[in-house]
Chains A and B, each alone.
Chain A
Amino acid sequence: MFKLDRKFLIAGTALALSATMLFSAGVKDALDGGMTYTRADGMYSSYHINEQNLTGINNGRIATANELKAWDLDIMPDGTGLPEGEGSVEDGDELYEAQCASCHGEFGAGGAGYPTLSGGSMESLKNQRTAPGMEAPTRTIGTYWPKASTLIWYIRDAMPYAHPKSLTNNELYAITAYLLSVNEIKIDGVELDDEYVLNREKFLKIKMPNEDGFYPNIDGPDGVENMRKFFADRATNIGAGKRCMTDCIKDAPVMKIGHEITDVSPAYGTTRDLPPKKDKGAVSEVQELYNANCSLCHKTDKMGAPATGDKEAWAELMEKGFDKVVFNAIEGTPNGMPAKGGNVDLTNSEVKKIVEYMRDLSIDKK
């Protein structure tokens, strides 16, 4: 087995060497340390090139300009796709309260199970999520989002949750302005008060607080090279290459289990008996049936049913005649009485007995 492995290893090295010699001209290492494949046109790719014969395979047609336009809807940080329009913080406040606050909370403070949009601090982003005694990282528009274009784009395409794409361009600007104002973001040094009107021109001047919080910079034509440089120094940038087995985290507090369960006290029992039956006293069969099937609604008049013992209600009921009442109890009524009290296993005669029992408790004996 060992010999076989070595054989493969040697063969593999030889192959790799020859491959390097063949394609070395102009080929750069893959970003993540993986393979790089050269293409026929002198470019390179991180994907294996399929050399299968493609004749006879229908690859469809090239998309038309209009099709691309209908698909290319994103709003970019440089203003591509950003609509014209204007909206004030005050209008946004009103729209937010009507359409957003039910999920995102007043002032974007969250709390209703959906993302928190304001508050938190950028310093908290460096904290461990579960560290005790520390503010958990709060990723909101003001602390985390690097670009405002993402905000207006997301609102336009995905919000409000129940009916997305229903906002006009002016409403979009209004809500965006409101969200920026609750996050205390300034545009060109100007605070966003109620009367502030946001439009396309002002929108392009927004600089988000966390714009420089992401690294390396992957935007623009140098993005790939920045990534390559970043990954080249793995030890410093992502910590790979250093192994640590004990006391690895020194400065940051780490959550530990405070009270581990080591024993169960008192110990689990080993007897398999059922709990002893309680003596219920003298309970007749019909009373038991009543308790099981009817008392839930008929014990009091809270559920709208004639309560057992309520003489007035039963006197009124008995005006219909006893047989009619029994019939109703068996068949149910549209007023809410389910057939046989909801228990179809009861026989008609049992129902009759229960009604008799309830009647006897509820009318004056002659």
Chain B
Amino acid sequence: MKVKAKLKGAVVKVKAMFKSPMAGTEEAEKKKIKPEYITHIVAKHNGKVVYEVSTGAFVSKNPLFKFEFKGGAKGDELEMTTTDNNGKTETKKAKIK
């Protein structure tokens, strides 16, 4: 997972790329791999949820997400967590620049 958060004016612009084959049952069967896709993405700023999204195999491989939120300050920490269909979670913290 790669996360980039930047403060521009009053808005924090976040770009994040997640590493996942995003292969649902059908695609995984074709590729002869285990189904693996991210089902849930949450971004928290100071413990407050600023972005939350449900995803599935319809999203491309190694997907890229962009979003913006207000109220962030330079040096604050943004915590992003992904959960995949196998229950595996991954967390990454990025400092707002």
Contact = CB atoms under 8 A, between A and B. Distances in A.
Contacts of A106: 4, 15, 17, 64
A134 B31 contact: yes
Given A106-B15, A107-B17, A182-B2, A119 B62 contact: yes
B4 A93 contact: yes
Contacts of A109: 17, 62, 64
Interface residues of B, number: 10
A135 interface: yes
A14 B17 CA distance: 69
Contacts of B27: 133
Kindly name the residue among A93, A107, A135 whose own CB sees the greatest number of chain B CB atoms within 10 A: A107
B15 to A, nearest CB: 5
Given A106-B64, A109-B62, A133 B31 contact: yes
A132 interface: yes
Contacts of B15: 106-107
Interface in B23-58: 27, 30-32
A133 B30 contact: yes
Contacts of A182: 2
Interface string A118-150: 010000000000001111000000000000000
B28 to A, nearest CB: 10
A93 to B, nearest CB: 7
B30 A107 contact: no
A302 to B, nearest CB: 32
A107 B66 CA distance: 12
B17 A135 contact: no
Contacts of A135: 31
Contact of B2 (A107, A132, A133): A107
The interface centre, meaning the residue of B15, B17, B27 with most chain A CB atoms within 10 A of its CB, is B17
Contacts of A133: 27, 30-32
A93 B94 CA distance: 14
Contacts of B31: 133-135
Interface string A341-356: 0000000000000000
Interface in A284-330: none
Contacts of B2: 107, 182
Given A107-B15, A109-B62, A133-B30, 14 more contacts: A105-B64, A106-B4, A106-B15, A107-B4, A107-B17, A107-B64, A109-B17, A119-B62, A132-B30, A133-B27, A133-B32, A134-B31, A135-B31, A182-B2
14 contacts: A93-B4, A105-B64, A106-B15, A106-B17, A106-B64, A107-B2, A107-B4, A107-B17, A109-B17, A109-B64, A119-B62, A133-B27, A133-B32, A135-B31
Interface of B: 2, 4, 15, 17, 27, 30-32, 62, 64
Interface of A: 93, 105-107, 109, 119, 132-135, 182
